[in-house]
A = this chain, B = another copy of it.
Amino acid sequence: MRVRQRDIAQAAGVSQASVSLVVSGRASEGGISPSTQDRIRTAMEELGYRPDPVARSLRGGRSGLVGVFTYEPVFPARPDEYFHEFLVGIEMAAADRGQDLVLFSSTQQADGRRSIYAGGSSRLQHADGSVILGMHRDDDELARLAKDEYPFVSVGRYDPVPEAAWVEVDYDGAVRAIIEDFHRAGHRAIAYVAGDNARLPSLARRHAFAASTRGDTTQILTETEFDENTLGTWRDSGITAVIAENPDIAEKVERAAARAGLRVPDDFSAACLDTPLRSGRSASWSHLLIPKREVGIRSVNLLAAILDGKLPRGHHDSVQCASHHLGTIAAERV
């Protein structure tokens, strides 16, 4: 049925080993004469030979498949702009390297949650290594994955499993630049509205904020603590600038301001520590330009480097983050 090297060998009157040499391009190196090479190639052409990638990976250990693992569906019910850009980068890099992507949908259990080790047969092994994506993670599972020495790279810093390789976003420089903008405009009292979660990108932003505001009066509120009256309170207490941890919060602040008759940047200067959604109302805020695509690309490249033994299993890569300064930071009114 399927054409094998053995069939080619028979047709060309040589051994299977010789065919293998020609197929893998080491014919000359392996000492196959040009005329024999021609015979073999002709036979391949005539019989329509296609190497079997599965047999290849069983033997050689490499399948050319890069896994993408998430605890959520890769294709969410509605297009998810947040993760999309990472995936664009991942696909670009995979295409560049001639690798294919495996999405591990099989890991989904009856309850909808995903688990690497649930099925018993670790399907991740189909891929040479995997990129781990997403907010929700089972730290124990991933720690075990690391202990099993399965090669993987986390998209984003991943402190709970320090043995893991990852590509992180370096928020510090960009946040500092935004704070400096506030300073130049005369702001010395800055409020920060944080999300209600302890997810890693959020923590990194809070950390970067704290590190950039030495000497300023700062106030950190969580999303639930922020309400209709907060802006008034801030105003009374002399706070003149607001930072939202993510676009959702920025929208919330924007709405509260509108209802209170306050405006950005006339009454409050504002910035958002994330890239706002295209269609969002806070798209005009000064914000960070999180290099998602670049992070995706680097993740695949880092994984490749680890597989090639060029970098250690626990290597950490860091990508610079830029900021986009729009007109939402105005001079403090005296």
Contact = CB atoms under 8 A, between A and B. Distances in A.
A198 interface: no
Given A87-B75, A91-B74, A54 B125 contact: yes
Interface in A61-107: 63-65, 73-77, 79-81, 84, 87-88, 90-92, 94-95, 98-106
A51 B121 contact: yes
A26 interface: no
A123 interface: yes
Interface string A46-60: 001011111111100
A108 B91 CA distance: 10
A51 B126 CA distance: 11
Interface in A126-177: 126, 148
Given A64-B123, A125-B50, A88 B75 contact: yes
Interface residues of A, number: 48
A122 interface: yes
A52 to B, nearest CB: 6
Given A64-B106, A99-B105, A101-B103, A75 B91 contact: yes
A101 B75 CA distance: 11
Contacts of A94: 105-106
Contact of A102 (B51, B75, B77, B100): B100
A92 B74 CA distance: 10
A312 interface: no
A65 B64 CA distance: 14
Contact of A108 (B58, B95, B106): B95
B54 A126 contact: yes
A233 interface: no
A105 B125 contact: no
A100 B126 contact: yes
Contact of A104 (B52, B63, B100, B126): B100
Given A79-B84, A87-B75, A102-B101, A58 B51 contact: no
A327 interface: no
A292 B54 CA distance: 32
Contact of A125 (B53, B125, B126): B53
Given A100-B102, A100-B126, A121 B50 contact: yes
6 contacts: A50-B122, A53-B125, A74-B101, A75-B84, A98-B106, A101-B103
Closest 7 CB pairs of A and B: A79-B79, A95-B108, A101-B103, A95-B105, A75-B87, A94-B105, A50-B122
Given A53-B125, A91-B103, 20 more contacts: A48-B148, A51-B121, A53-B126, A54-B54, A54-B63, A54-B126, A55-B58, A58-B58, A63-B126, A64-B123, A65-B126, A73-B92, A79-B79, A79-B80, A91-B105, A100-B103, A100-B105, A100-B123, A101-B102, A103-B103
